Structure 1
Amino acid sequence: MWLLRRSLAASCGLWRGPSPAREQLESEGKPQKRICQVVLDHFEKQYMKELGEAWSSVRDVLTSPLYWQYAVLLNKFSYFPELENNLHLKGYYSIFQENLTYAPGSLKCYISRTPGRFPAQKHQTGKLKEYYLLNAASLLSVLALEIKDGERVLDMCAAPGGKSIAMLQCAWPGHLHCNEYDSQRSRRLKQTLESFIPEPLMNSIALSELDGRQIGDLHPELYDKVLLDSPCSNDRSWLFSSDIQQATLRLIQRKELPAVQVELLRSAIKALRPGGSVVYSTCTLSKAENSDVISHILNSCSNILPEDISELADAVSDEFTVVAGVQPHELLVLPTKEKAWGPMYLAKLKKM
């Protein structure tokens, strides 16, 4: 148990599992991993209670990678019109329409209705990649943050780097601090940024390997915006746990996670200047790691208020299965067969 608590104390270094895009890349030409029954049984019990009838459809998507979809986020620093033409020819279209006020015109992301995956690009030293493959739902936390040019921004748990890349497509912050506690994941983060951002701009991005829980004390009231894409029980990855021992450890970790998430969010709030905003996000459906964490903060922090993002939820409901009935400051995306994005939870808070 001591080792478990030590691993959880690593905060942003907690294992969150590979991204679905990387999972599929690594599994090409190899047998698909099998569903771990121990994790599935746990999810069945929890999510039938929390999601009701919706769980059946969500379960089918989570347990079948063939349903999974991958978005293509274009890199404005290495833009080629031929790429967009190629995407159109293959049936891809822009996921964020011009009437979406949350999405700046510089953010270009393409999706297809057909499950599948656009070819990945390999890292080449000195050459910028043209696009980044990701779960489109992960962009919603970046949009909710509404970054403006010149703002001081903290990406608190930044690896593998997709959301940092998306931030830089939306605006150019006056200062961007990308933090990742785990050294291996931090190296991956650095490589990702170097693959997408020109070297002169890389010089103005700060990279660190700090324990996320300490950042608020180290940099109090420094940032205009903070993104806390928190370590969580990654529902997609955990269903494919390699063995019973690994699955059992992860389910034990799951009980400890909310306490760590609350500590991280408190630190993020300390790092915010008065009037600043924080977006908290996870890639799990777990109520304990999502709305319960936010409720705890709202009930215990007198200087924090919820920020309404219902307009964003309404605006993206054509492309994402957004859960109805959540609080105005929250957004929960369920993966379904027609719209296999997510799971993704996010909430926005403002410091008074």
Structure 2
Amino acid sequence: TTETTEWSPQQVTKKHKKARPFCQPVLDHFDEQYREELGDLWTSVRSALLDPHVWQYGVMVNRFTAETNLTQVLQSQGFFKFLPQTDVTKLRCGATSLVSNVKYHSAEDCVSLPRCISKCPPDDYRLQPDITSDSLSQDFESELSPSLPLSSLQCYIHPYPVRFPAQAHRPGQLKQYYLLNAASLLPVLALQVKDGEKVLDLCSAPGGKAVAIMQCATPALLCCNEPDPHRRDWLSKTLESFLPQSLSSRVIVSPRDGRCFGVRSATTYDKVLVDAPCSNDRSWLYSSSHQQGEQRLKERDRLPLLQAQLLRSALSAVRPGGVVVYSTCTLSSAENYAVVQTVLNEFPEAEPEDLWEEVAVPLSKYFAFGPARPDHGRTPYQPVSRPQKSAVSAGHHTLGLLVVPQLGKAWGPMFLSRIKRRK
């Protein structure tokens, strides 16, 4: 059944909460690394990351739920859809849950992998008194670029960091929406999943991107892979909360080690998403203790090796002519551009695809994109706020796009790269 709570505008909060203290060892490490990699851009990114009251997030609407007053409440509060919509018929579903019929592959001898976990941002600051959210959201929507592919995925964002109430997990009931950092939808959009395709979400927990994939299309198969038992339970609850019983034959949960997935399922999938374990910059800055922060930093050097193994596995799992999207939620060049370049050097049949005009140009009104090259930190640089098609020479963005948090565009960090396997 659909959770049919009627939302009141008064439930959208604008309260201050005392910000959590940041972890000084992590900040010191970031200052050293990102000042070198991002140059002058790090100053503004740092300001956005260290002020949780300016963080923004999106409300992804679940297309499998019945109509309520949700969209009206969102619009009345100044939220607006930032993606061009295709005209699709909403699916309606019965009361049975998905998780009871989730299928599992046979267990394998595999180790648990570390994973970055996105967290809901804290409460926001008050709206600016001299600008109404209604007028600003209308201005944003009026310039929506038609060049982005149409999608049935509906995500509402707000020009200011107002907070929408979360919905608790209730067995047997579908949630109406998913709260997320809107930049995390860009890898899913870049994947361009179509009805009837076979899709692998290689590092699936906690399940937000799997839910987003199912908002975009109805694949013949979506395999959500997660080796860690605790995180796999979390993933299953997410799927149960958002997907109907009628899709249980199309969505399976796998416990395999992602690094060996491609060997056992070679050339099986049309599309593969690798939302890799990474050093989650937002989360790490607010590590619960100096000891936790220092331990995370010790493990950071090992992440690129794991990420490259996962990307190799994905390229083995995808069929010739299919595509792989690699993504992280870190600014680190070693975990982003360097991983992609390393794996490309080993796969002559893999070809990176430039996402600049497809993603960065049409969405630059909402997201700030970072430098075009992995060696960008050697010269002063400003965020790319309004990229033009003619402003960047071809090839500079072939390794990927980097979304960098800025005041007023506090989305990310998010890196995404799309790689096609030649036929």
TM-score (ref. length: structure 2): 0.74
Which residue of 1 is the match for residue 74 of structure 2?
87
Percent identity over the alignment is: 50
- Supply the AA of the counterpart residue of 1:346: L
User: What residue ranges of structure 1 are gaps of 5+ in the alignment?
Assistant: 1-27
Change in 2 beyond 3 A, CA 1:103/1:128: farther
Which residue of 1 is the match for residue 98 of structure 2?
none
Q: Aligned pair count?
A: 325
TM-score (ref. length: structure 1): 0.89
The answer on whether the counterparts of 1:68 and 1:116 sit within 8 Å (CA) in structure 2 is no
Structure 1 position 31, deviation (Å) = 5.9
Measure, in 2, the Cα distance between the counterparts of 1:303 and 1:84: 45
Aligned pairs (5 A) from 1:240-259? 240-259=286-305
Which residue of 2 is the match for residue 336 of structure 1?
406
Q: Please, which of 150, 153, 169 is the counterpart of residue 199 of structure 2?
A: 153
Structure 1 position 308, deviation (Å) = 2.1
Deviations 1:191-216 (A, max 9, x none): 00111111121232110111100100
Measure, in 2, the Cα distance between the counterparts of 1:159 and 1:280: 15
Range 93-102 or range 336-345, more displaced: 93-102
> What is the DSSP-based 3-state SS (H/G/I as helix, E as strand, rest coil) of the residue aligned with 2:64?
helix
Q: Please, which of 245, 261, 271 is the counterpart of residue 307 of structure 2?
A: 261
Q: Please, which of 257, 265, 278 is the counterpart of residue 219 of structure 1?
A: 265
**Is 1:109 the equivalent of 2:155?**
yes
Range 201-210 or range 106-115, more displaced: 201-210
Which residue of 2 is the match for residue 129 of structure 1?
175
User: What residue ranges of structure 2 are gaps of 5+ in the alignment?
Assistant: 1-14, 86-144, 374-395
Aligned pairs (5 A) from 1:1-352? 32-98=19-85, 99-311=145-357, 312-326=359-373, 327-329=396-398, 330-352=400-422
- Supply the AA of the counterpart residue of 1:318: K
Which residue of 2 is the match for residue 20 of structure 1?
none
Measure, in 2, the Cα distance between the counterparts of 1:87 and 1:202: 30
Measure, in 1, the Cα distance between the counterparts of 2:238 and 2:170: 11
Q: Which has the larger radius of gyration?
A: 2
- Supply the AA of the counterpart residue of 1:63: L
Structure 1 position 32, deviation (Å) = 4.2
Structure 1 position 181, deviation (Å) = 1.3
The answer on whether the counterparts of 1:66 and 1:116 sit within 8 Å (CA) in structure 2 is no
Higher share in helix: 1
> What is the DSSP-based 3-state SS (H/G/I as helix, E as strand, rest coil) of the residue aligned with 1:40?
helix
Range 125-134 or range 78-87, more displaced: 78-87
- Supply the AA of the counterpart residue of 1:317: S
Range 283-292 or range 112-121, more displaced: 112-121
- Supply the AA of the counterpart residue of 2:40: E
Measure, in 2, the Cα distance between the counterparts of 1:333 and 1:142: 14
Measure, in 1, the Cα distance between the counterparts of 2:27 and 2:287: 10
> What is the DSSP-based 3-state SS (H/G/I as helix, E as strand, rest coil) of the residue aligned with 2:69?
helix
The answer on whether the counterparts of 2:152 and 2:215 sit within 8 Å (CA) in structure 1 is yes
Q: Which ranges of 4 or more aligned residues in structure 1 deviate by more than 4 Å?
A: 28-32, 98-103
The answer on whether the counterparts of 1:104 and 1:170 sit within 8 Å (CA) in structure 2 is no
Change in 2 beyond 3 A, CA 1:139/1:182: same
Deviations 1:17-72 (A, max 9, x none): xxxxxxxxxxx998643111000000000001111111111111111111111100
> What is the DSSP-based 3-state SS (H/G/I as helix, E as strand, rest coil) of the residue aligned with 1:76?
coil
